[in-house]
Chain A
């Protein structure tokens, strides 16, 4: 085989990395290089530097160090039994690509993942080395996200957390049984313990020592994980329960859902259907409701049919349609947590409602100016000059929101 060029390697190893949904560059500490000694900054909120036609943001240089792998995970394009072309970056190549892309303002930083070569420790060591070179040799102050290998030794994970802003370990699939059947080399228990270790390390590093000194921060932007949706038979309720367990147990910043997507040279064990993008979207909406709107898993699950979220209307609207006895809500009186339950009114609008109603009584048009989606919200609230009267309880309310049924064609 002829020696691969950097361009060829980049093509192979970015193609191999695209199934990781996470691209966040947010959170963590703010840094800059105003002192002129290094390169880069982090702003706290993250920047998406481009968008691919799949609608996903490109914030980080997301690549694999290598796509050689000794594991055989059925859903993965890089599994040992796949015939994709293999490539491997040298650590210097990864460092150069990251810095040169960064200097041209293409990216916020690096998201480095890898297939497992030789052993988990060997692989993790190389990844940590790349992060160390960026931080120490080149004074790189941009964002680094390292995909941690759960079986790697805790000392390596601890070192990784010193250089990386974010660490992540993928739980891969919603249930342990699915992981065992599709990713036989992976141990779900080990994945959980590794996430637990990261949380403990983060918390230990937040405390001041007895001398009052603060230790160097450990993965200041926290940890995240990802699970594939639609590869195994788990329903949405199971997925959401798993994600709420992960958030509470390991204080994750994010749980990403990745609709299982056909891959080149796929395993025969998996369904090669169009990726369930709408399902993925509804799961993210439900996840948002749990994190920012005070919804509990069971409330969302109660509005789901046979454990699956309604694909036609969003989960907040679905919940409201099932709990109409609570509506219409008076926007001039309802407490914050109830305002958050009105479909079409988001956290920002709720903040505006609260700050304005301290001074005067709100009207219908005020809500429009505050950014509420009135087409959705109309049946669910009252204001000084607005009452939905019979609309809230009308039998065809759901039909007003759901897309019209499609005429089936006879062929």
Chain B
């Protein structure tokens, strides 16, 4: 029988070193007695653990597990970990077996420690102690379930580095002074001076509570009663619960009151403000088809009112919908690139879409583009016609089938009609080309050809309106 005594501070590292040594010396788990703290006299203990520095490789999951389990209050924790380490020598995959009772047990212990540590991060309550010192000084008393002060301390160190603090627990205490952390023996509950901010905190706790929705089980499952005695705000809970129902009933039964005087004056100011009517405001209020419901905003066309060329695309996409401007997304950027090569100045043209709202289906965090229906195109033609009337372009460039449909009433045979010039019902010439987003969907080997076609059409449009 060998006895291993692990220190109260640095327990994990000490356990790991001891386990390495034992494993290197082929000592089976049943031959080891593990202890924390000072060495007790065990009748069967004979020799100390051998010290070797030889590294033993273990699966990563084991280290994560051991780093938590060593702080558990179960006296068998070190032995259980070593037994698993022993078993992993012959079956390394065991650590992934979440159905194995040994693994399940250790995982449960790890979870309990992790939860206790998390609750310690959450529920420690400092009081300010000590005045007239350059660094402000705080202290807290906490009673954790497991030996978690040491693994909890880095959290407080990272958070409260510009002040001095002490946390006392029955097993161990931690002191952070002038940027250094040290551990000391456990303590009894210290008498900490009253702190006025604590009263403000209790006021906050009372008032953030909504008496109309009492859910005691939800509260106690996340804030178990065992922590309450060291949390000042929990003293308020009985009174809050006792009066909650009466307060909720009183709210429901209270008759509506008359508004205060100043409300009338403020509300009257509101009613006199009406925004001026413009194309954009009228468009943003459009309810001719249901597409507005899901979109962010209607996207009007953009460009000079006397532009000789009008460019019509399909509909705003994800980016256009957010920005409120046409052709700013991936297809728009591609269009800009091709237009620059073709010598077409975008800022001299009026650029717009056949449909003014983005049509899509939500898919998780993405929006999948959907082609507008014939009805939606027809409804939105009203707005396109208004834009055409205002700009009266010499030529319209129709990009893609939707624009073609909207302008000529016929969407069939786009690829055959591409490059041709047709007319709108009122006789404006329409040059037909492909939509730049079509290029984005092509495989890279056929894309240059299609891009060349669009470039040729854009060049022609530029020449015709020069």
Are A and B associated in one complex? yes
Residues of A within 8 A of B (CB): 6-7, 10-12, 14-15, 17-19, 32-41, 43, 47-58, 61-62, 70, 72, 80-83, 97, 100-101, 103-106, 139, 176, 184-185, 189, 192-193, 195-197, 199-200, 244-245, 247-249, 251, 259, 261-268, 272-275, 277, 291, 296-297, 352-353, 355-356, 358-360, 362-363, 365-367, 369-370
A41 CA to B155 CA in the complex, in Å?
9
Q: Identify B208's interface contact among A14, A48, A103, CB under 8 A.
A: A14
**B340 interface residue per 8 A CB criterion:** no
Does B241 contact A37, Cβ atoms closer than 8 Å? no
Q: 8 more A-B contacts (CB under 8 A) besides A55-B219, A61-B204, A356-B97? A: A18-B210, A33-B160, A47-B118, A51-B219, A51-B223, A54-B211, A58-B208, A356-B99
A51 CB, min distance to chain B CBs, angstroms: 4
**B190 interface residue per 8 A CB criterion:** no
Does B122 contact A48, Cβ atoms closer than 8 Å? yes
Q: Which residue on chain B has the smallest CB distance to residue A267?
A: B256
Does A262 contact B362, Cβ atoms closer than 8 Å? no
On chain A, the residues within 8 Å of B297 by CB distance are 189, 192-193, 196
**B132 interface residue per 8 A CB criterion:** no
A397 CB, min distance to chain B CBs, angstroms: 27
**B322 interface residue per 8 A CB criterion:** yes
Does B254 contact A54, Cβ atoms closer than 8 Å? no
Stretch at the interface among B306-314, B364-372, B377-385, B405-413: B364-372
Per-residue contact bits, chain B 182-221, to A (CB 8 Å; 1 contact, 0 not): 0000000000000101111101111111111111111100
On chain A, the residues within 8 Å of B244 by CB distance are 53
On chain B, the residues within 8 Å of A56 by CB distance are 210, 218
Q: Identify B200's interface contact among A7, A185, A196, A353, CB under 8 A.
A: A7
Q: Identify A272's interface contact among B121, B195, B251, CB under 8 A.
A: B251
Stretch at the interface among B29-37, B68-76, B123-131: B123-131
Stretch at the interface among B7-15, B258-266, B344-352, B453-461: B258-266
Does A196 contact B322, Cβ atoms closer than 8 Å? yes
22 A-B pairs with C-beta separation under 8 A: A7-B203, A14-B204, A15-B207, A15-B208, A17-B208, A34-B158, A36-B162, A40-B159, A43-B155, A52-B209, A54-B210, A55-B219, A56-B218, A104-B127, A139-B162, A196-B324, A199-B322, A248-B366, A249-B294, A262-B212, A355-B98, A366-B98
A57 CA to B198 CA in the complex, in Å?
18
Within 8 A of A (CB), among B396-445: none
On chain A, the residues within 8 Å of B257 by CB distance are 82-83, 265
Does A14 contact B207, Cβ atoms closer than 8 Å? yes
Q: Which residue on chain B has the smallest CB distance to residue A349?
A: B98
Per-residue contact bits, chain B 92-114, to A (CB 8 Å; 1 contact, 0 not): 01001111110010000000000
B438 CB, min distance to chain A CBs, angstroms: 24
On chain A, the residues within 8 Å of B259 by CB distance are 80-83
Q: Which residue on chain A has the smallest CB distance to residue B238?
A: A53
The 5 closest A-B pairs by CB, nearest first: A55-B218, A366-B99, A55-B215, A81-B259, A248-B362
A72 CA to B195 CA in the complex, in Å?
40
**B222 interface residue per 8 A CB criterion:** yes
Knowing A43-B155, A355-B98, say if A264 contacts B254 (CB, 8 Å). yes
- The interface centre, meaning the residue of A33, A62, A248, A296 with most chain B CB atoms within 10 A of its CB, is A248
B461 CB, min distance to chain A CBs, angstroms: 30
Interface SS, A side? loop
Residues of B within 8 A of A (CB): 93, 96-101, 104, 118, 121-128, 136, 138, 140, 155-163, 179, 195, 197-201, 203-219, 222-223, 231, 233-234, 237, 240-241, 244, 248, 251-252, 254, 256-257, 259-260, 262-263, 266-267, 270, 284, 293-294, 296-297, 319, 321-324, 360, 362-367
Knowing A36-B161, A196-B323, say if A18 contacts B207 (CB, 8 Å). yes
On chain B, the residues within 8 Å of A139 by CB distance are 162
Does A200 contact B323, Cβ atoms closer than 8 Å? yes
On chain A, the residues within 8 Å of B294 by CB distance are 245, 249
Does A266 contact B254, Cβ atoms closer than 8 Å? yes
A47 CA to B159 CA in the complex, in Å?
13
A96 CA to B458 CA in the complex, in Å?
62
Q: Identify A105's interface contact among B124, B157, B323, CB under 8 A.
A: B124
Does A263 contact B251, Cβ atoms closer than 8 Å? yes
Q: Identify A244's interface contact among B155, B157, B321, B362, CB under 8 A.
A: B362
Does A352 contact B267, Cβ atoms closer than 8 Å? no
A248 CA to B140 CA in the complex, in Å?
45
A32 CA to B199 CA in the complex, in Å?
28
Knowing A104-B125, A247-B365, say if A50 contacts B215 (CB, 8 Å). no
Does A32 contact B222, Cβ atoms closer than 8 Å? no
B316 CB, min distance to chain A CBs, angstroms: 11
Q: Which residue on chain A has the smallest CB distance to residue B218?
A: A55
On chain B, the residues within 8 Å of A37 by CB distance are 162
Does B126 contact A105, Cβ atoms closer than 8 Å? yes
A171 CB, min distance to chain B CBs, angstroms: 12
Does B162 contact A104, Cβ atoms closer than 8 Å? no
Does A53 contact B208, Cβ atoms closer than 8 Å? no
Knowing A6-B200, A104-B198, A262-B252, say if A53 contacts B263 (CB, 8 Å). no
On chain B, the residues within 8 Å of A70 by CB distance are 266, 270
Q: Which residue on chain B has the smallest CB distance to residue A195?
A: B296
Q: Identify B99's interface contact among A53, A100, A365, CB under 8 A.
A: A365
A37 CA to B161 CA in the complex, in Å?
8
B439 CB, min distance to chain A CBs, angstroms: 23
On chain B, the residues within 8 Å of A291 by CB distance are 364
On chain B, the residues within 8 Å of A53 by CB distance are 209, 214-216, 219, 237, 240-241, 244
A353 CA to B297 CA in the complex, in Å?
45
A245 CA to B263 CA in the complex, in Å?
36
On chain B, the residues within 8 Å of A35 by CB distance are 161
Does B296 contact A33, Cβ atoms closer than 8 Å? no
Q: Which residue on chain A has the smallest CB distance to residue B362?
A: A248
Q: Identify B212's interface contact among A36, A61, A275, CB under 8 A.
A: A275
On chain B, the residues within 8 Å of A358 by CB distance are 96
A34 CA to B181 CA in the complex, in Å?
12
Does B362 contact A245, Cβ atoms closer than 8 Å? yes
On chain A, the residues within 8 Å of B122 by CB distance are 47-50
A367 CA to B234 CA in the complex, in Å?
38
